[in-house]
C-alpha cells in the first residue's frame, strides 16, 4: 500500500468522500486521488481550449497544420473544372 498523509477537508466534504468510498468500494485515498487527477485533467483541457479560443493562436495552428497540404489541392485534378 502506498504511503498516505492527512489532509483537512470540510466535514461535508468528508461525508461525501466517505459515501463515494462506500459506493465504489474504494479507499478514501483512492477517491481523493481520482478526484484530484480529474480536476487536474479538466484544468489542462481548459488551458488547451483557452489557447485555441484565442484567434491568433488558432490561426497560427491552422496555418501550420494545413500548409503542407496546400500543394496537394489540385493533385490529379488536371482538366477538371
Q: What is the pTM of this model?
A: 0.63
pLDDT tens for 36-66 read 999 999 999 999 999 888 888 777 777 777 7
Question: CA–CA separation, 42 vs 40, rounded Å?
Answer: 5
What are the boundaries of each domain within the chain? 28-68
Which of the 8 DSSP states describes residue 54? S
Question: CA–CA separation, 38 vs 27, rounded Å?
Answer: 17
Between 68 and 32, the more confident residue is 32
First to last CA, the chain: 69
pLDDT tens for 20-30 read 999 999 999 99
Residues 6+ apart with CB under 8 A from 4: 29
Phi first, then psi, for residue 74 (nearest 5°) are -105, 10
Amino acid at each position: 500500500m502506498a504511503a498516505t498523509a492527512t489532509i483537512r477537508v470540510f466535514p461535508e466534504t468528508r461525508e461525501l468522500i466517505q459515501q463515494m468510498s462506500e459506493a465504489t468500494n474504494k479507499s478514501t485515498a483512492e477517491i481523493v486521488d481520482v478526484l484530484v487527477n480529474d480536476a487536474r485533467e479538466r484544468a489542462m483541457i481548459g488551458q488547451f481550449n483557452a489557447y485555441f479560443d484565442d484567434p491568433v493562436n488558432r490561426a497560427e495552428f491552422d496555418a501550420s497544420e494545413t500548409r503542407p497540404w496546400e500543394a496537394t489541392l489540385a493533385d490529379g485534378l488536371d482538366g477538371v473544372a
